[in-house]
Structures are given as C-alpha cells and as structure tokens.
Amino acid sequence: MILFSHLEQPNSGKSSLHVFVLSYLILLVLLLFPIPHDSCSPSERDSLLQFRSNLTFSFNNSRLSSWVTIDDCCKWEGISCDGNGLVTEISLPIKGLGGSLSSSLAGLSHLTQLNLSYNQLTGNLPTEILLYPSLFVLDVSFNSLSGKLSMSPLGNFSLQVLNLSSNSFTGPFPSLGSLAGFLTAINASNNGFFGLFPSSICGLSPLLSTMDLSHNQFSLDIPPD
C-alpha cells in the first residue's frame, strides 16, 4: 500500500528511485532468506522410506504413492510434522498394508502417534517402537502381528494409549515396571497372551481408565489390585 501511494505521485522521481531500490532489496532478501517452511528433514524421510520398503500393498489405489512422487515427507499421505519438519504422527489405518513393521520408525525422533490399525501387518512389534520415548499413542489393533512382546525397562516411556487388540501376540504380558506411569488405556484383547497379567501395571498407572484383556489365555486368577 505504501509503495503504491508513492508510485501514484507523478512528480517525485526521487521517491520512485527509493521505491525501486527498496523493492529490489525486498526481492533480494526474499531470495536469500526464503520463508522457512516445514519441509521434511532428510533423515526422517529415509526412516519413512525404509518403513515403506518393508510394506506390501493389497489395494492398488493406496500404495502410498505420494511417498514416492512428492519429495517433502511432511506432505505425504498419513504423515504430520511439527513446524521444524519433524514427523509427529503416522496415521495409516485401513490402507491394506501388509508386510512387516520396520524398526526404522525409531529413527523419527519426535513421533508421538502411530496408528496402523485395520491392516494386515505380520511379524512382530519391534521393541524399539514399543519403547519409543516420545510415543504416546500406539494403535496396531486389527492386524496379524505375532510373537512375544519383549520389553526391557530401558529408556523413557510415555505411552498413554496402547492398543494391541485383535492380533496374534503370545507369551506373557510384559510387566512395564516403573515405565507404566502415563498409561490411560490398554486394549490387549483378542490375542494369545497367557500367564498372570502383571497387576503391578494397575498400581503404577494412576491415570489408567480402560483395560481390556478379554479373549486371551490369561490365567483365571485376577489379582485384586
């Protein structure tokens, strides 16, 4: 607006020159210092591409093709980033994804939510993902994941929502030790977990409000706590 009002004064050649120089400077500054945008960091992009390379696709219309055609991973299907181009969320439920879960996801330093429910993923759930320090929502329900959950109480654990339901996990349910402090919901139903459920989780999770252990082979003694 100011630039135009200067230009509209017919006799002020000096002002026009100022405007010209000013515009030139503004252009130069814009070229040298582009407005920062939340484009994806190369290492995060690599981690995601590694994750994709372990997947198979059963719907032809959803092969995560944007992951191949677009360079900026923050614009990929199912991906959200923070303002610094770091991936915070992966949401790919009901995408016909098969194959295995790559531990390369642990390379995403700011991932807080992972939702891969209603797919056909097989293999086990890498410990690196389960014990991911920044993750607070992990939903892998309705897949064909199997194996035991190994969970050594190392690192920081901030999980609030853990949905493992309707898979083929077996073995004892890991006692989360002192790492269970933030859990609000656990759904482990419809698996092959057996043994005693580690009731210490309940005492350690003051915020826990939902727990579904149904349709497993847990032993019948439900500890009072």
Ligand X SMILES: *[C@@H]1O[C@H](CO)[C@@H](O)[C@H](O)[C@H]1NC(C)=O
Largest Cα span, the chain: 95
Among 112, 166, 205, 216, binds ligand X (CB under 6 A): 166
Residue 89 CB partners (closer than 8 Å, separation 6+): 79, 80, 111, 112, 113, 114, 115
Stretch that binds ligand X, among 36-44, 66-74, 134-142, 200-208 (CB under 6 A): 134-142
Q: Which two tokens stand for residue 211?
A: 């727990």
Q: How far is the CB of 135 from ligand X (least distance, A)?
A: 12
Among 6, 75, 93, 172, binds ligand X (CB under 6 A): 93
Q: Is 36 exposed, middle or buried (0-12, 13-18, 19+ CB in 10 A)?
A: exposed
Stretch that binds ligand X, among 14-22, 143-151, 153-161, 174-182 (CB under 6 A): 153-161
Stretch that binds ligand X, among 18-26, 37-45, 71-79, 162-170 (CB under 6 A): 162-170
Distance CA 123, CA 69 (A): 28
> Residue with CB nearest ligand X?
163
Residue 69 CB partners (closer than 8 Å, separation 6+): none
Stretch that binds ligand X, among 17-25, 70-78, 145-153, 159-167 (CB under 6 A): 159-167
Q: How far is the CB of 139 from ligand X (least distance, A)?
A: 4
Contact 112, 137 (CB under 8 A): yes
SS (H, E, C) 107-135: HCCCCCEEECCCCCCECCCCHHHHCCCCC
DSSP line for 164-206: --SSEEEEPPPP-GGGGTT--EEE--SSEEEE---THHHHH-T
Among 102, 112, 119, 216, binds ligand X (CB under 6 A): 102
- Looking at beta carbons only, is 77 or 212 nearer to ligand X? 212
Among 55, 81, 161, 180, binds ligand X (CB under 6 A): 161
**Among residue numbers 35 through 64, which ones bind ligand X (CB under 6 A)?**
53-54, 60
Enclosing H/E stretch for 96: none
Q: Is 167 in the site for ligand X (CB under 6 A)?
A: no
Q: By the criterion CB under 6 A, which residues form the site for ligand X?
A: 53-54, 60, 93, 100, 102, 115, 117, 123, 133, 137, 139, 141, 155-156, 161, 163, 165-166, 185, 187, 189-190, 210, 212
